[in-house]
Amino acid sequence: MSIPAAPALAAALEAWRAALGADAVAADPATIDRYARTTQTGAPRPSCVLYPTSTEKVQALVRIASDHGIVVYPISCGKNWGYGDACAAVEGAAIVDLGRMNRILEVHSDLAYCVVEPGVTQGQLHAHLRDTKSGLWVDATAAGPDSSILGNTADRGIGHTRHGDHFRTCCGMEIVLADGRVLKTGYGHFPGAHATHVYPYGVGPYMDGLFTQSNYGIITKLGLWLIPEPEDFAFFYLQAREFEDFAPLIERLRPLRLDGTLATAVHIGNDFRVLAGTGKYPWDLTGGVAPLPPQVRKHLRDISGAQAWQGSGSICGTRAQVRAGKQALKRAMRGVGTVRFLNDRTLARLETLHALLSRIGQKHRLERMVKIIRTNFELLKGVPVRQPLMGAYWRLRKPPEEPGDPLDAGVGLYWVSVVMPMRGVDALRVLNIARPIIEAHGFDHDVSMILVNERALVSTNIIAFDKRLPDECAKASECYDKLFETLLKAGYPVYRSGPQGMAKLRAHDSVFWDVATDIKRALDPKDIIARGRYIAPLE
């Protein structure tokens, strides 16, 4: 099955309107156009969009989809920019927009967890925790306050705090299967079980992982662990002057990550991460040339205060723990770079100094550094902010002044994010593979390295381009394919993928994908839910 036949679609639309309500079904051209938008070079068009408001409505819509042979593609908020946005993997799917299922069902302050529906956003949950004086933080990604908590977790996304690996902190799911049954994982299927959201495994097979980065079902509820506000908090901002300093920097930081001194997901970016943070490529300085010439790049580093590498994280705990952690990090940074520590008080002083310099007419490089530090400072306290979205606008000829939805501005964006052992030798190998490929296609090597857990490093390589320029779109697509395949061949697969990369992951036969397909065939034999997402379409 591919694009649904007109009679089947018409019958399904009539049934969905009866089951969900007329205002929960849209098939007009304007809506279709809106959901077909993508930051990538192209995407399939949906046949319609459905807006369920409850688990029961989701059950009804999948049964109707099965009866009429229509593929449904669930999204939470559709903010998966650079990884496929709100677009299905095949033409003619019915997009199931779960954004109206946006209830925070439970917040347990004593045990530091919550239960949310798919439409709950980072900003919504943060505001609730703040306004109720819960004393709890949620880990936030750089995707802004309007992105979904559940959606990012289902794609195994990465944040900033010690809960930066989102899947590791989810506990207890409710899932609608293709036949309309509701599966509750862990202890959730036992009536009255008290440990559903505090002990993830339950008893028997552990199923939660099957429903992330897959198309086996539609997650309608998720338990998520939260972070108790610590007694003390020290934000740190580190820099290394030379590009060659990155390998020794990783070797110095790894022991601190392994022993728990550094508990957060430390993000380290090259100079382009700072420069792109304004969202404005210096077309006037380059005379329209791209990628950025070395001399212009150096000039921008000099005036911005950026170094070859800069990173951030935090040390949290008791005052004694934070004091000891700061001393350990200072020792580790000797000879490879600098590190500065800030808390609410010292950051406020820095911002006051910047405001004073501005009032007396001094344009100082402190301006950009203060903005970057404030952004990362907030993220490490679980506060979702919009500012990181500015990086997506880097190659636009006319970027907006303030960050918003990248789709509204014509942003082109691919992410190639690979995982490696946390060793300097692996980091350099990945950098040396990625940089020449990206630059050869006319793009800037904008890269972040994330110490995502105690042993693994994630390299996020950003291909930012202008969707309004067909030639640039073609080069971006070619660059993505080449970079993805070269890194995979070198032993560095991605940790998540957009639609253009999913078939590449399955290019080599393996028992893994055979078993994944067997599970799909058992749970969804008609291949109704998110056909082609990670797992190959059933024949």
Q: Where are the beta strands (DSSP E) in 51-201?
A: 72-75, 94-97, 104-108, 113-116, 136-137, 170-176, 182-184
Task: Identify whether residues 397 and 270 lie together within a single domain.
Answer: yes
Task: Identify whether residues 206 and 284 lie together within a single domain.
Answer: no
Task: Identify whether residues 186 and 282 lie together within a single domain.
Answer: no
Counting other chains too, the contacts that 80-83 makes at CB distance below 8 Å and 24 or more residues apart are 80/151, 80/155, 81/39, 81/143, 81/392, 81/406, 81/407, 81/411, 81/413, 82/39, 82/40, 82/392, 82/413, 82/414, 82/415, 82/462, 82/498, 83/155, 83/415, 83/496, 83/497, 83/498
Query: Does pLDDT of 1 surpass 70?
Result: no
Q: What is the CATH number of the domain that holds 449?
A: 3.40.462.10
Domain count, the chain: 2
Task: Identify whether residues 246 and 372 lie together within a single domain.
Answer: yes
Is 433 part of a structural domain of the chain? Answer: yes
Is 258 part of a structural domain of the chain? Answer: yes
Pairing of strands 182-184, 170-176: antiparallel
Q: CB of 163 within 8 A of CB of 76?
A: no
Could you say which of 208, 228, 248 is where a domain stops?
A: 228
| pLDDT in the model for residue 238 | 97
Query: Does pLDDT of 361 surpass 80?
Result: no
Domain that holds residue 149: 104-228
What average pLDDT score do residues 505-524 get?
95
Task: Identify whether residues 441 and 393 lie together within a single domain.
Answer: yes
Task: Identify whether residues 197 and 292 lie together within a single domain.
Answer: no
What average pLDDT score do residues 513-529 get?
97
Could you say which of 474, 489, 504 is where a domain stops?
A: 489
Could you say which of 175, 200, 228 is where a domain stops?
A: 228
Is 272 part of a structural domain of the chain? Answer: yes
How far does Cα 447 stand from its chain's mean position? 15
Task: Identify whether residues 292 and 195 lie together within a single domain.
Answer: no
On the question of a cis peptide bond just before residue 44, with omega within 30 degrees of 0, the verdict is no
What average pLDDT score do residues 242-260 get?
96
More confident residue, 236 or 365: 236
Task: Identify whether residues 145 and 278 lie together within a single domain.
Answer: no
Query: Does pLDDT of 163 surpass 90?
Result: yes
What average pLDDT score do residues 448-475 get?
97
Q: CB of 158 within 8 A of CB of 165?
A: yes
pLDDT tens across 65-104, in order?
999 999 999 999 999 999 999 999 999 999 999 999 999 9
Query: Does pLDDT of 248 surpass 60?
Result: yes
How far does Cα 234 stand from its chain's mean position? 25
Q: How confident is the model at residue 362 (pLDDT cuts 50, 70, 90)?
A: low
CB atoms within 10 A of CB 436: 11
Q: CB of 267 within 8 A of CB of 311?
A: yes
pLDDT tens across 413-430, in order?
999 999 999 999 999 999
| pLDDT in the model for residue 357 | 72
Task: Identify whether residues 280 and 321 lie together within a single domain.
Answer: yes
Task: Identify whether residues 276 and 144 lie together within a single domain.
Answer: no
Task: Identify whether residues 161 and 275 lie together within a single domain.
Answer: no
Task: Identify whether residues 381 and 440 lie together within a single domain.
Answer: yes
Pairing of strands 170-176, 232-240: unpaired
Query: Does pLDDT of 2 surpass 90?
Result: no
Per-residue burial over 190-215, b if 16 or more Cβ lie within 10 Å, else e, is: eeeeeebbbebebeeeebbebbbbbb
Is 80 part of a structural domain of the chain? Answer: no
SS3 134: coil
